[in-house]
Structure 1
Amino acid sequence: MDLWAAPSEYDAQDGAEKITPRMCSMVGDLGLEHFSFIVLKSAQDDLTPLAHTLFTSYPKEWVDRYTRHKYWDVDPVTDLGHRSIRPFFWGHGPFLRAFAKKQRVVFDEADAFDIRYGLTIPIRGAQGELSVFTVVSSRKAHLEEVMQGATGRVYSAAVDTHELALKELAKQRWRAQNAVELSEREKECLSWTLEGKTAGEIATILGISTSTINQHASSAAGKLGSLNKHHAAVQALRLKLIQ
Structure 2
Amino acid sequence: MGRFDKTLEFIARLQNAQTVKTVNATLLSLIQPFGLDYCIAAIIPQTGRLPTSRRRLQSHILFSSWPSEWQTQYERARYIQRDPLVKRFQCAPAPFRWSDESVRALINDDLGAATLMDEARDHGLKDGLGFVVDTLDGRRVAVSFAGENADLSPAERSVLNLISVYAVGKAMEILDGKNRVAFGLLGLTLREVECLNWASHGKSEWEIGQILAISEHTAEKHLASAKVKLRAATRAQAVSEAMRLGLIR
> Shorter-chain TM-score: which interval?
0.5 to 0.7
**Which residue is equivalent to 1:168?**
174
Letter paired with 1:31: G
Give per-residue Cα distances to partners, 1:145-198, cap 9 Å, x unaligned: x3344223211211011212222342344355456689xxxxxxx9xx8489xx
Give per-residue Cα distances to partners, 1:84-119, cap 9 Å, x unaligned: 121001139873333423333321221211212111
Q: How does 1:28-43 map to 2 (within 5 A)?
A: 28-41=32-45
CA drift of 1:8 comes to 5.6
- 1:194 and 1:168 mapped to 2: Cα distance? 30
Aligned partner of 2:58 among 51, 64, 67: 51
Contact (CA 8 Å) 1:39, 1:130: kept in 2 or not?
Answer: yes
Contact (CA 8 Å) 2:62, 2:171: kept in 1 or not?
Answer: no
| 1:9 aligned counterpart, secondary structure | helix
Letter paired with 2:66: Y
**Which residue is equivalent to 2:97?**
89
- 1:181 and 1:127 mapped to 2: Cα distance? 21
Q: 1:168 to 1:70 in 2, by over 3 A?
A: farther
| 1:123 aligned counterpart, secondary structure | strand
Letter paired with 1:152: S
Aligned-residue CA RMSD in angstroms?
3.8
Q: 1:94 to 1:174 in 2, by over 3 A?
A: closer
Q: 1:195 to 1:88 in 2, by over 3 A?
A: closer
- 1:65 and 1:116 mapped to 2: Cα distance? 17
- 1:94 and 1:181 mapped to 2: Cα distance? 46
**Which residue is equivalent to 1:20?**
24
| 2:36 aligned counterpart, secondary structure | coil
- 1:71 and 1:179 mapped to 2: Cα distance? 38
Q: Do residues 132 (structure 1) and 142 (structure 2) align?
A: yes
**Which residue is equivalent to 1:147?**
153
Aligned partner of 1:76 among 60, 77, 84: 84
TM-score, scaled to structure 2: 0.61
- 1:130 and 1:114 mapped to 2: Cα distance? 27
Contact (CA 8 Å) 1:34, 1:135: kept in 2 or not?
Answer: yes
Q: Which has the larger radius of gyration?
A: 1
Q: 1:114 to 1:219 in 2, by over 3 A?
A: same
Contact (CA 8 Å) 2:40, 2:65: kept in 1 or not?
Answer: yes
Number of residue pairs aligned between Structure 1 and Structure 2: 190
Identity of aligned residues (%): 18
